[in-house]
Amino acid sequence: MRHGQSTWNHEHRIQGQLDPPLSEEGRRQATSLGARLAGRSFTGFYTSDLQRASETSQLIGHALGIDPVAKVELREIQLGQWEGLRTEELALRFPEAWASWSEEPDWDLVPGGEGSAAFETRVDSALDSIFNRHPEGDVLVVTHGGVIQIALHRVVGRPGRGIFPFRIQNASVSVIERRNGRLVVSGVNDIGHLEVASGELEIG
């Protein structure tokens, strides 16, 4: 699951690993997500330790009667000097990097950022750890748009260097299944539990 709307999602600011809280709408989204999942059984429950994800997971956990385990490895990509800025500010402050990004998005273009290879390695390691710990049953993971993109890219066999081919909205559900040792995507960006399918795709 992607976290609910944060105050910076609402303001269209790039978040990365900075730590804004959920907005009022984000809390409502998380509560709706918890209501949808109520009554289901999970063998594991993990969350990014960033506030917008941990607040979402706490609201979900309240509905489920279980507590999430925070994992630093599930954080969004670290976006260096771009964090906290709006996209219109990027064009003014980093014209060359932003022009290159606009032509072909690539995490390696972000000044002072984590970079594509390190991000992908981190997310893959976190996913492997969760799969190895839970060979059976359903596992709930509350994280960020970029992390979910990397997880989906892993299944479909393409690099996730910055291009977002999947729309991953706030409080959406995406499902990856392991069948006979293979990973299969069985759902992407499900927001059926939300009354209004609103919001744009932001980084974080």
- CB-based burial label for 189 (10 Å; 0-12, 13-18, 19+): middle
* Sequence-distant (≥ 6) Cβ neighbours of residue 73 within 8 angstroms: 122, 123, 125, 126, 129
Catalytic residue at 202?
no
Catalytic residue at 76?
yes
In the set 3, 25, 144, 153, the catalytic residue is 3
In the set 76, 83, 114, 120, the catalytic residue is 76
In angstroms, rounded to a whole number, what is the distance separating the alpha carbons of residues 152 and 160? 9
**Main-chain dihedrals φ then ψ at residue 89, nearest 5 degrees:** -75, -30
Torsion sign across C-alpha atoms 126, 128, 134, 139: positive
By the 8 A CB rule, do 3 and 171 touch?
Answer: yes
By the 8 A CB rule, do 89 and 12 touch?
Answer: no
E strand spans, the chain? 44-48, 69-71, 139-142, 173-179, 182-190
**Main-chain dihedrals φ then ψ at residue 158, nearest 5 degrees:** -135, 150
Residues tagged active-site: 3, 76
